[in-house]
Amino acid sequence: MAEDDAVWEGVMGRVEIAGLSAEPGEVSRGYVSVPGLVPSWDMPAVIVRGREPGPTLAVTSGMHAAEYVPIEAVTQLTRWLDPDSLRGTLIAVLLVNSPGFYERSIYVNPRDGLNLNRCFPGDRQGGPAARVANFLTQNLLDGSDAYVDAHCGDLIEALSPFTLWTRAGDPEVARRSREMARVYGFEHSLGVDPESVPGAAYATAALRGIPAIIAEVGQQGICDSDSVGRHLRGLQNVMSSLAMIDPVGPPLPDPEPMSQMVWMRTEISATYHPTVVVGDRVVAGQKVGELRDLFGEPLVALEAAASGVVVFLVTSLAVKAGDPLLGIGVSS
């Protein structure tokens, strides 16, 4: 165990969520419900509590209901963990956007059409998304010692695996968050200012003093075993770095640090024809695609807004005004 990890020993944070709890050495599975919502908003959750004391790691998946890889990876993590050898507690909400799951809803929840990951810390008296965010802030994030929000590319998104951590006001929280992002083992990592991701769960957690990251691998509604395995290994690596479990394998390569993510969006509704794929390196001004009308007439030639690597790419033919098209990771 590294010297920096030793501070996590003996810490015991939250060991229950909305009435679902576990005694040392137990695993509890059940649904937790957001108060005041009709019809009910029920989320599957699992608590795995070790026999030995240690940190409480909070994990969410399915914030976006069609992001299947992290839902499966977090589910597998809860079934893989052995309470007899676990130090501390894992609390995992397997599917946050449960109303959107069987609807295959992308980006938003079907109750009020809002992106849950732009609604934190939420409002107990607000609409559905605000109430869910408030419920998770109060019942999951607060009292935890670290937090991972697991994601992947949505149904119309391709991406190169990356982690995001926030440069919160507390330098120690930022340092711990950055270390969690590093050990996750993905290709790219970026530290962002909380103001650039307003309402994001991981940024809210960091601002409340909880080291936190968002991790993304997988894409386009495909629940492939390789991506699931990478997310699972990343979560195991974080738990190992927190001294909750023993290492599951040799350390993975450090990510390529990014200084910023430059987003390109469309100002018009059109058909989208990219000429790059994720992983391509581009230079500012290089043609990266074209927008056309429904007759195939060119409307806008798209040029790279920065030099870097294409980390994110929309793969849908149809794009609406305001939609993201691609994200370029600029190296530090």
Instruction: Write out the chain's pLDDT in tens, 332 residues.
Output: 233 333 334 445 678 899 999 999 999 999 999 999 999 999 999 999 999 999 999 999 999 999 999 999 999 999 999 999 999 999 999 999 999 999 999 999 999 999 999 999 999 999 999 999 999 999 999 999 999 999 999 999 999 999 999 987 799 999 999 999 999 999 999 999 877 888 999 999 999 999 999 999 999 999 999 999 999 999 999 999 999 999 999 999 999 999 999 999 999 999 999 999 999 999 999 999 999 999 999 999 999 999 999 999 999 999 999 999 999 999 97
Token reading at 227: 């991506």
Q: Are 200 and 274 in contact (CB under 8 A)?
A: no
Task: Give the three-state DSSP class for 256.
Answer: strand
Would you say the pTM of this structure is higher than 0.85? yes
Q: Are 284 and 215 in contact (CB under 8 A)?
A: no
List alpha helices for 224-316, DSSP H.
225-241
Strands of the sheet containing 298-303, edge to edge, are 298-303, 287-292, 270-274, 318-319
Burial 228-244 (b: 16+ CB within 10 A, else e): bebbbbbbbbbbbbbbb
Token reading at 331: 């190296």
Residues whose CB falls within 8 Å of the CB of residue 307, separated by 6 or more in sequence, listed in order: 282, 283, 284, 328, 330
Q: What distances in angstroms separate CA 217 from CA 123, 292, 305, one per listed residue? A: 30, 30, 24
| Radius of gyration, CA atoms only, the chain | 20
Separation between Cα atoms, residue 181 and residue 164, nearest integer Å: 7
Token reading at 210: 């909880």
Q: What distances in angstroms separate CA 74 from CA 49, 81, 178, 211, 231, one per listed residue? A: 15, 11, 21, 19, 8
Separation between Cα atoms, residue 178 and residue 65, nearest integer Å: 27
Residue 147's H or E segment, with its range, is strand 146-151
Preceding omega of 53 cis (within 30 degrees of 0): no
Q: Which CATH superfamily is domain 3-254 in?
A: Zn peptidases (3.40.630.10)
Specify the CATH class of 257-331 in words: mainly beta
Chain region(s) in the chain for CATH 3.40.630.10: 3-254
Chain region(s) in the chain for CATH 2.40.50.100: 257-331
Separation between Cα atoms, residue 217 and residue 311, nearest integer Å: 11
Separation between Cα atoms, residue 264 and residue 236, nearest integer Å: 34
